[in-house]
Amino acid sequence: MSRSLRQIRALVRKDLWLEMRTRDTVVAMGLFVVIAMVILQFGFGTRETDLTRFAGGLLWVPITFAAVLGVGRSYVAEREQRVLDGLLVAPTSRFAMLIARAISITGYLLVVELVAIPLLGVFFVRGPYWGSVGWIALAALLADVAIGVLGTLVASMAVFTRARELVMPVIFLPLLLPVVVAAAGATHAVVGGHDMTSYTRYCVFLVGFSVLFALVAFATYEAVFDD
């Protein structure tokens, strides 16, 4: 196994171990998604039981906000326990650090979606839903990778600013809007009816997004940690 792969594996294992011991981030993200879904239901001002036409938004608005919380939270050890100093002093490739964190965030989001996707069917969709869960999960996986790559790049700047709690959502969410458009569109395409042409287009977009931002991150990530 090449050195970079070993580094990535070690870093992912470090993130997942930390998370398994504390269970801070994923549990809070999962709970947040449930709360946000309930708020959205009441926020619409309706007691309708079938909100199929809003399925994309009902799933992706909570996940997007949970991602912002999770990405920011995943840097707490780096910032407060000075883990980052240790990593930067060690001969670790910066890009390996980015890939590892993107994998960890993707993992967190996948766990959260294990709760969110079934809940969408239970709470809001009346009609055929469970047959399209596999398609929603595939689109969610692609969106999670995009969120992971972009989130890692953005968070590695935002968490080292003064008003980080505010800066993180303000800079991350607008950049994430195209992913929300595509992920919600893909969800809507398969929940509201099997429009596989639209679904495929959105999935291709999500792959393109991840690839482009991986290239941008490859070109710029070194500069983020220049000190």
Partner 1 sequence: MTDPPVESVRVGRGAALWSVAAAVCMAISVAGSYWIAPEDVEGPIQRLVFLHVPIAVVSLIAFGVACVAGLMYLRTRSQRWDDIVVVSCGLGLLFTVLAMITGSIWAKAFWGTWWSWQDARLVTYLIIGLIYAAFFVLRSSSDSGAQARFSAVFAVVAFASIPLSFWAVRTAESAIHPVALDRNGLQMDGPTALWFVIGHVAMTVVFIALLKVELLQRQMERRLSSIRLALEESAQ
- Answer for which of 65, 95, 160, 218 binds partner 1 (CB under 8 A) is 160
Asked if residues 173 and 68 have their Cβ atoms less than 8 Å apart, the reply is yes
Interface with partner 1 by CB under 8 A: which range of 30-38, 68-76, 125-133, 163-171? 163-171
Question: Least separation, in Å, of the C-beta of 52 and partner 1?
Answer: 18
> Rg of the Cα trace of the chain?
18
Instruction: Spell out the residues 6+ positions from residue 32 whose beta carbon is closer than 8 angstroms to its own.
Output: 62, 65, 66, 69
**What's the token pair of residue 142?**
């692609």
Interface with partner 1 by CB under 8 A: which range of 40-48, 63-71, 83-91, 155-163? 155-163
Instruction: Between 47 and 162, name the residue whose CB sits nearer to partner 1.
Output: 162
The site that binds partner 1 (CB under 8 A) totals a number of residues, namely 36
Dist. CA 203–CA 151, nearest whole Å: 19
**What's the token pair of residue 51?**
């909100």
Dist. CA 222–CA 225, nearest whole Å: 6
Contact set with partner 1 (CB under 8 A): 153-154, 157-158, 160-164, 166-167, 170-171, 174-175, 177-179, 181-182, 185, 198, 201-202, 205, 208-209, 212-213, 216, 219-220, 223-224, 226-227
